[in-house]
Structure 1
């Protein structure tokens, strides 16, 4: 498939995979998912590539899933969606969400996310699948699923990224997490000035690429498999089931019931938006 939204660039032993939809804040449609998967496979199968950098073009790393741009509507015949409870189960099982991100997590080469601006929900999922994260000082992370009446996004790594208590607070408030907060939690490796983001990320990528490719692959496998023995991947998969359950919330049988439920949900979301900020 010819790439329309994902750029693939080589710089020595570093491949950069960039979502290139800046006007839409790099939101991720079905086509973007497939193009990302193709780009990662290309980098993994190239023995000349040792490190993969993941980026978003423009001012923001990504605004999450594509919930209805003109382009995504035009893609529907090729990439149909089924939002029914059974459809959501199939989505998980066919690999659009958990399986795809878990595969990216286990690519046999180091992956580094280069994050600036907003990194929301589906874009957070992509970053969570990477090994290292370099963030600009203006980067902000958010998953506002609970505000919308759900549980969390489809690849729920929050308890790993932030720790259980911080994860709960974030999901229940939906407030943005700053780059500095994410660094303190251990989710982000380095926070740098925005104008230094690319330079810092490429420095880290080239530093990692000084190592032998097989040694990089084995060390990554060792850490990931140890984490999985402790239950990491299974825990993410199990938590993902609650995303499915979120789609089964009773919204009423009639059209008027569903409209009323949506109105109530939007009112709750707006109440969170208007809520007083931290008093400290």
Structure 2
């Protein structure tokens, strides 16, 4: 499979790079399918020991593609009508099943996040084992298709953040345990790859066992059952949220855009998730 919207670089530390910088790496169906294929390639390649996921351009990912010209053409070709038989399976496969596959990918994965990481961007970063972020990274979660936020932040912090509809700064995300490490933007790639290379030099079997055991602990507590049930709640409103077409979809898409716009307005005022005080003047802005 040749790739149009990602870059795949094999090696002991393989890289999957979102490559739609002109739309801040908005996640189209094509991009998500290409990501899935790249993870499958990395899984089948015994020379790959770690995968690093990142994005080209100014931002990691602005979330799902809500209507670029290319995406609208693709929707017309593939169809997303909610009344069509199999539409639930299509929505689940595109938004939940693939993300669970990446979460359960047997080799260590690292998300390298810079700039905005919004909605669907949070989803794919959350599915990785480790998250390193630049100091200008800004995170905005939602009750989306892969609702792992309560597992990322804890129940009360999740409610606090989603009720507020505010961004997390990189330092806030580190403080609550969603992000492992924060680096200056200029240092992020070097430090992330150095970590990945160190992990790649250790025993693949050991890393596989560690990952399986930790994920199995979360599943014993109900992780997969929870995100599956949360997706079903989401899917009940699928015609109201897009990508299905029609007036309800347009209305739902507008509400999602309003949510992002509202959070961005608060961010520009210096109001982040856990503080109403202005950001430090030296704090970088994406």
Q: Residues 41-56 of structure 1 correspond to what in structure 2 (within 5 A)? A: 41-56=40-55
Please list the CA deviations of residues 48-68 of structure 1 after superposition, one character each: whole Å capped at 9, or x if unmatched.
Answer: 010000010011000000111
The residue number in structure 1 matching 2:88 is 89
Over residues 154-203 of structure 1, what are the superposed CA-to-partner deviations in whole Å (9 max), with x where a residue is unaligned? 10011011111111122122111111111111111100000001001101
State the secondary structure of the residue aligned to 1:97.
helix
Preserved CA contact (<8 Å) 1:85 1:248: no
Q: Supply the distance in 2 between the matched residues of 1:267 and 1:106 (Cα, whole angstroms).
A: 31
Indicate the residue corresponding to 1:235 in structure 2.
226
The offset of 1:246, in angstroms, is 3.4
Q: Please state whether the residue corresponding to 2:94 is helix, strand or coil.
A: coil
Alignment of 1:269-280 (within 5 A): 269=259, 277=271, 279-280=276-277
Q: 2:3 matched to 1:15? A: no
TM-score (normalised: structure 2): 0.83
Q: Is the 8 A contact 1:59 1:116 kept in 2?
A: yes
Equivalent positions of 1:21-60 (< 5 A) are: 21-60=20-59
CA 1:84 to 1:64, structure 2 compared with 1: closer, same or farther past 3 Å?
A: farther
> Please, what is the CA RMSD of the aligned residues?
2.9
The answer for the alignment partner of 2:207 in structure 1 is 216
* Structure 1 gap ranges (5+): 146-151, 250-254
In the TM superposition, 1:252-271 aligns within 5 A as: 269=259
Alignment length (residue pairs):
266
Q: Is the 8 A contact 2:18 2:55 kept in 1?
A: yes
- What's the CA shift for 1:89? 3.0
Distance 1:74 1:236, change over 3 A: same
Give 5+ residue unaligned stretches, structure 2: 241-245, 278-286
SS at match of 2:78: coil
**1:155 and 2:153 aligned:** no
Note if contact 1:84-1:247 (Cα within 8 Å) is conserved in structure 2.
no
TM-superposed CA distance for 1:9, in Å, is 1.0
Greater shift in the superposed pair: 62-71 or 168-177: 168-177
- Give the C-alpha shift of residue 87 in structure 1: 6.7
Write the deviation string for residues 23-81 of structure 1: whole angstroms up to 9, x where unpaired: 11000101111100000000111000100000100110000001111111222244322
Decide whether the 8 Å contact of 1:85 with 1:244 is kept in 2.
Answer: no
Scaled by the length of structure 1, the TM-score of the pair is 0.85
The verdict on how the C-alpha distance between 1:126 and 1:3 changes in structure 2, with shifts beyond 3 A counting, is same
* C-alpha spacing 1:200/1:124, structure 2 compared with 1 (3 Å): same
The structural deviation recorded for 1:96 is 1.4
Pair 26,272 (structure 1): closer, same or farther in 2 beyond 3 Å: closer
Would the aligned equivalents of 2:133 and 2:179 in 1 still touch at CA under 8 Å?
A: yes
Aligned residue in 2 for 1:69: 68
Query: Residues 75 and 266 from structure 1, CA distance in 2 versus in 1: closer, same or farther, beyond 3 angstroms?
Result: closer
Q: CA, structure 1 residues 267+156, in 2 after alignment: closer, same or farther (shift >3 Å)?
A: closer
